[in-house]
A and B are shown apart, each in its own frame.
Chain A
C-alpha cells in the first residue's frame, strides 16, 4: 500500500490515502495543502470516516474551501481549494 499524491492537471492534484487509518489521512491532507499554491485544488480520496471530521474542521479553521464531499463505494471524496 502506498499513499499517492499526484498532479492531475494545471493547479489540480489528487491525494489517495485509501487503506490508511488515523492519523495518516489528516496528516497527508495537511502536508499536501502546504505544498500547494493558493487557489489550487486537491481531491482527497480516503476510506477512514474518522478522518473526515478532522479534515473538514482543519479546512474551516484555515479557510480552505471544501468544494465537494461525496461517498461512493465505501470511499470518501473531498475536493478542497487552498486558501
Chain B
C-alpha cells in the first residue's frame, strides 16, 4: 500500500514538472532556457539522492567514522567532469569563468565547512535532503542560505564602519554612473565595498589562460593538460591515495594478508586496495561518474541555448519578453550556465524580503549583477526546485521519503549551520558546487583553496559533534 502510494506521488511530481515545462514553452519559446535548468536540476536531484551524494559527508564521515565513501565519489565526479570541461573549453562551448583568487576563499570555505557539518548537509546536499522530507535541511536552506544570505549582502550602517580604508578608496574608483558598470547609488552595503574594493581587484586564474601554460602547451592541449590534468585529475588521484593510506590501508593489508595466506604484499595489492576503496560504495561511485558527465552536459546545453537565442544571459531574454523589472541595471539576472546553488537561494530570500518592503535592489549583488526576478521566472532557482523535486521522486520510488520535523537540538544546528553556510558561500561567490566543484574542474586553483577551507571547517565541526555526542552517550550509559 505504502509502495503504491509512493509510486503515485513520484508519478504526480514528474507529471507536474512536465506540465510546468509545457506551460512555459507555450507562453514563449525563450523559456526553453529556463526549462533546461529545471530538468538538469531534476537530474542532479535524482542522482544526489540515489548516491547519497553530499559534500558535507565527504570530509565529515571521513573524520567522524573513517568512511571515505563520499570523498571517493566526489573525486570520481571531479575527474570525469574535468575531462568534459576540457572538451568543452577546447571546442569553445564552455560557460566557465574563474573567480578572484585570494585568502577570502579559504576563510569562506572554513566557515562553510563548519556550517555544513552543523546543518547536516552542504548546499546541494541540503536541497536533496529537503526532497527526502528532512525538516532540518529546510531550516538551513530557507533561513540560512536564502534569508540569511540576502540580509548578508544588503546590510550596511555600522558594518560599513568596519571596512578597511583601502577597500573604500578602491571601491570609489569603480563608482560609474548608470548605464555603465556600477552606479554609485548601488554601493551601499558592506558587501558592495568588499566586492568592488577588494574582490574585483584580485586576479582570476584559469591555468590554461596563464601565459606560462599557454606557451608550454599550445592550442587545445592546454585545456587537457593544464586545466584537466594539472588542476584536477592529478590532485584528485593524489588525494585518493592519501585517503587510502590514512583510512583504508591498515585494515585492508590485514585482510589481504589473510587472503594471500601470509604472502608478501606488493604494489599490485595496493592498487587492488585502492580499487576496492573506490568501488566499496557502488551507488555513490556510479553517481559520481554520472554527475561528472551530466554537469559537463549541462554546460554544453546552456551554451547551446545561448547560441540558439543569440544571448549571453537569460536577462536579455527576460528584457525581450518585457520583464524589465526582473533584471539588474546591467540587464542581467543570475544565470551561471552550469550547476550552481547558493546565489539563487539568496535571490529567493531577497525576493521575499523585497515583498515585505525591504529595499533589496540598492546593492551590487541584486541591483547590478544578479537582478531580482519573480520566482517563477528565475532560471537558477528553478534548478534548485528541480533538485528538490528530482530527489523527492527518487526518494518516493525507493520508499525513503519521510517528513521529519526538526526536533530538539536539530533546530539550533539547522539554523546555525544554514546561516554559517550562507556566510561562507557569499564572500567566495559560491559554495561547495560553485566555489569548489565547478572551479576545480574548470582549471581554477581557487577551487582547491575553497576545498581546503571546507575540509578544515568540517574537521572543527566534527570535533564539536564528537564532544557533544560523547556527552549524551555518557548520560545514557549512566543508566546501565
Contact = CB atoms under 8 A, between A and B. Distances in A.
Nearest to B255: A63
A27 B132 contact: no
B120 A60 contact: no
Nearest to B56: A22
Contacts of A60: 280
B69 A53 contact: yes
Contacts of B230: none
Contacts, number: 113
Nearest to B247: A61
A61 to B, nearest CB: 6
B129 interface: yes
A5 B477 contact: yes
Contacts of A11: none
A interface bracket (residues with beta carbon within 8 Å of B): 35 or more
B472 A54 contact: no
Contacts of A4: 476
Interface residues of B, number: 48
B363 interface: no
Contacts of A20: 410
B103 interface: no
Nearest to B60: A23
Contacts of B398: 49
Given A5-B477, A47-B402, A58 B408 contact: no
B446 interface: no
Residue from the set A2, A47, A49 with the largest chain B CB neighbour count within 10 Å? A49
A27 B465 contact: yes
Interface of B: 2, 52, 54, 56-57, 60-61, 64-67, 69-70, 117, 120-121, 129, 132, 134, 136-137, 247-248, 251, 280-281, 283-284, 395, 398-400, 402, 404, 407-408, 410, 462, 465-466, 469-470, 472-473, 476-477, 479-480
Interface of A: 1-7, 19-24, 26-32, 35, 47-50, 53-55, 57-58, 60-63, 71, 73-74
27 contacts: A3-B472, A4-B476, A20-B410, A21-B137, A22-B56, A23-B117, A23-B462, A26-B61, A27-B65, A27-B465, A27-B466, A29-B65, A31-B469, A31-B473, A47-B402, A48-B134, A49-B400, A50-B54, A53-B283, A54-B52, A54-B67, A57-B280, A60-B280, A61-B67, A61-B247, A61-B248, A62-B66
